[in-house]
């Protein structure tokens, strides 16, 4: 096995928010064992061509097949059959099974990616006509009739509503979630184990039930209006368990030796948490918050139940209906008018871009662990050294930039 064939395993992390470097170093590496032969490729191509030909014959001559999807399904079944036959001609039994499973697994994975990509691409294509108009971001839908062109009206009210509601949710979720996660990891005992079980059960709470809960308590019992506040609290109920679980995992990854060193030097538990646990897990915690936010932003049904629909801009979260982006999408696409549907798709694009931004942010923040920071510093130093050797050739550059 050559050195180039070595590759690291995926980090044995519990969730995506885990910093790889915070985990104990990976002891063993997995080796790449596969190789591709030209004959295998030829078998594959042959089976592909054969299946297409046979399915076309079937579809046009024997059994009429309606639609592309049906054709695809039949072609795939035929392909797997032909391929296993071809492999069987010159390989022993276990190898045939191995090849067929490989084909099934790989096509399954690519089918998923294609399907998921089609979700994104379809939405973007259908929404593209709406999102280019600047009024889409600066107006609400108050004066817009259902047949008005895309140059009037927009979803400003929904953007404002989403941001307001998510802010309310974050105001509650971050302090409550972080302290609860600290409770789970720093104050172990039967009671915290019980709370952890309950939090795990809470992640399964259907979003509509969260909405019903806020509807039952805040609106029906305490007599509040349907408002942005109610929607924010309903989203909080959804976000809390995600946040707590992620933060709990992050806190438990703080090396015990660090905490013990702090305690051994005579620091109190509070000081240890403030000066060791929280700083060590800062990036993981940020990632947990961002991922919970991304989930909270997409919730439709709690908002539907607790905030109501409105076409106008409402900046006051305490009274009156306040929509969010997913709810606007949901309402607009119910309209029979194509321009309204286009607006709905446009809103979905805005929502997805928001989620994407949060996601990329989470990745960037989550990647900021100590090892990577050190590597970056080293790279920067090397770059600076090279620049300073070029120093004279760059006019106007008299000293290297100070290290951030």
Partner 1 sequence: MTSLPLNDATGAVVVDQPRKLRQTRETPDKIFRGVTTGSGVIVLAIMTFVGLFLAIRATQALKKAGFSFLTTQSWDTNNFNFGIAAVLTGTILIALVAICVAVPLSTATALYITEYAPARMRKVFISVIDLMAAIPSVVYGLWGFFFLQAKVAPVSAWIAQHFGWIPIFSVKGVNSDTPISSYTLFTSSTLIAGLVVGMMITPVVTSIMREVFSQVPVGEREGALGLGATKWGVIKSVVLPFGKGGMIGGTMLGLGRALGETIAVYMIISPVFTIQPHILQSGAISVSSLIALQFQEANHFGLSALMAAGLALFLMTLVINFCASSVVARSRSGASS
Site for partner 1 in 45-74 (CB under 8 A): 65-70, 73
Between 77 and 113, CB nearer to partner 1 = 113
Which residue among 86, 294, 323, 342 contacts partner 1 (CB under 8 A)? Answer: 294
Radius of gyration of the chain, Cα coordinates, nearest whole angstrom = 28
At 298, give phi and psi (nearest 5°): -85, -5
With contact defined as beta carbons under 8 Å apart, do 251 and 19 qualify? no
Distance of CA 369 to the CA centre of its chain: 20
Distance, CA of 279 to CA of 274 (rounded, Å): 7
Which residue among 56, 197, 316, 335 contacts partner 1 (CB under 8 A)? Answer: 197
Q: How big is the site for partner 1, counted in residues (CB under 8 A)?
A: 113
Ramachandran area for residue 7 (φ above 0: left; ψ -120 to 50: alpha; else beta)? beta
Dump the DSSP string for 41-62.
HHHHHHHHHHHHHHHHHIIIII
User: Least distance (Å) from partner 1 to the CB of residue 107?
Assistant: 8
Of 5-34, which residues contact partner 1 (CB under 8 A)? 7-10, 12-16, 28-34
Between 185 and 280, CB nearer to partner 1 = 185
Of 99-118, which residues contact partner 1 (CB under 8 A)? 101-102, 104-109, 111-113, 115-116, 118
Asked if 271 touches partner 1 (CB under 8 A), the answer is yes
Q: Is 334 exposed, middle or buried (0-12, 13-18, 19+ CB in 10 A)?
A: exposed
Of 330-359, which residues contact partner 1 (CB under 8 A)? 330, 333, 341, 344-345, 348, 351-352, 355-356, 358-359
User: Least distance (Å) from partner 1 to the CB of residue 166?
Assistant: 13
Instruction: State the CB neighbour count (10 A cutoff) for residue 330.
Output: 19
Distance, CA of 224 to CA of 306 (rounded, Å): 10
Asked if 159 touches partner 1 (CB under 8 A), the answer is no
User: Least distance (Å) from partner 1 to the CB of residue 32?
Assistant: 8
Between 33 and 257, CB nearer to partner 1 = 33
Of 162-181, which residues contact partner 1 (CB under 8 A)? 175-176, 179-180
Token duo for residue 242: 């995600």
Q: Is 15 exposed, middle or buried (0-12, 13-18, 19+ CB in 10 A)?
A: middle
- Could you tell me which stretch among 46-54, 253-261, 263-271, 393-401 binds partner 1 (CB under 8 A)? 263-271
- Could you tell me which stretch among 44-52, 92-100, 311-319, 389-397 binds partner 1 (CB under 8 A)? 92-100
Between 144 and 331, CB nearer to partner 1 = 331
Of 362-391, which residues contact partner 1 (CB under 8 A)? 363
Ramachandran area for residue 223 (φ above 0: left; ψ -120 to 50: alpha; else beta)? left
Which residue among 55, 123, 144, 314 contacts partner 1 (CB under 8 A)? Answer: 123
The helix (run of H) or strand (run of E) holding residue 295 is helix 282-297
Between 258 and 390, CB nearer to partner 1 = 258
Between 90 and 394, CB nearer to partner 1 = 90
Which residue among 139, 164, 207, 281 contacts partner 1 (CB under 8 A)? Answer: 207
Distance, CA of 365 to CA of 294 (rounded, Å): 15
Q: Which long-range contacts (CB under 8 A, 24 or more apart) does 175-181 make?
A: 176/240, 177/239, 177/240, 177/243, 177/244, 177/247, 177/288, 177/292, 178/243, 178/247, 178/285, 180/240, 180/244, 181/243, 181/244, 181/247, 181/248, 181/250, 181/251
Between 204 and 404, CB nearer to partner 1 = 204
Which residue among 217, 319, 335, 388 contacts partner 1 (CB under 8 A)? Answer: 217
Between 134 and 175, CB nearer to partner 1 = 175
Residues 6+ apart with CB under 8 A from 300: 207, 324, 326, 327, 329, 330
Token duo for residue 373: 């920071």
Which residue among 22, 323, 329, 342 contacts partner 1 (CB under 8 A)? Answer: 329
User: Least distance (Å) from partner 1 to the CB of residue 380?
Assistant: 23
Asked if 158 touches partner 1 (CB under 8 A), the answer is no
């Amino acid at each position: 096995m050559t050195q180039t064939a070595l590759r690291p395993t995926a980090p044995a992390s519990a969730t995506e928010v885990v910093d790889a470097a915070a985990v104990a170093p990976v002891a063993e590496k997995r080796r790449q064992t596969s190789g591709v032969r030209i004959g295998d490729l030829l078998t594959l191509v042959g089976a592909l061509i054969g299946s297409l030909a046979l399915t076309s014959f079937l579809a046009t001559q024997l059994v009429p097949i309606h639609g592309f999807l049906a054709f695809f399904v039949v072609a795939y079944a035929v392909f797997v059959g032909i391929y296993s036959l071809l492999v069987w001609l010159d390989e022993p039994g276990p190898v045939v099974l191995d090849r067929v499973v490989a084909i099934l697994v790989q096509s399954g994975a690519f089918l998923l990616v294609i399907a998921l990509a089609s979700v994104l691409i379809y939405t973007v294509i259908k929404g593209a006509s709406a999102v280019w108009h600047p009024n889409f971001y600066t107006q609400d839908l108050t004066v817009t009739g259902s047949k008005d062109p895309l140059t009037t009206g927009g979803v400003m009210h929904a953007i404002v509503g989403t941001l307001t509601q998510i802010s309310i949710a974050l105001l509650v979720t971050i302090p409550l979630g972080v302290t609860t996660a600290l409770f789970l990891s720093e104050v172990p005992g039967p009671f915290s184990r019980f709370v952890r079980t309950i939090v795990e059960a809470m992640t399964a709470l259907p979003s509509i039930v969260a909405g019903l809960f806020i509807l039952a308590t805040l609106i029906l019992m305490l007599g509040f209006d349907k408002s942005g506040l109610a929607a924010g609290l309903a989203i909080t109920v959804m976000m809390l368990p995600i946040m707590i679980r992620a933060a709990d995992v992050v806190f438990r990854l703080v090396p015990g030796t660090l905490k013990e060193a702090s305690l051994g030097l005579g620091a109190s538990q509070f000081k240890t948490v403030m000066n060791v646990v929280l700083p060590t897990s800062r990036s993981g915690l940020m990632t947990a918050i961002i991922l919970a936010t991304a989930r909270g932003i997409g919730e439709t049904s709690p908002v539907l139940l607790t905030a109501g629909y409105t076409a106008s801009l409402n900046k006051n979260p305490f009274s009156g209906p306040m929509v969010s982006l997913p709810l606007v999408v949901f309402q607009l696409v119910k309209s029979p008018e194509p321009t309204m549907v286009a607006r709905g798709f446009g809103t979905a694009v805005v929502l997805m871009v928001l989620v994407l931004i949060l996601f990329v942010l989470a990745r960037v923040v989550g990647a900021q662990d100590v090892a990577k920071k050190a590597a970056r510093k080293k790279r920067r130093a090397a770059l600076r050294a090279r620049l300073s050797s070029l120093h004279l050739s760059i006019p106007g550059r008299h000293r290297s930039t100070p290290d951030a």
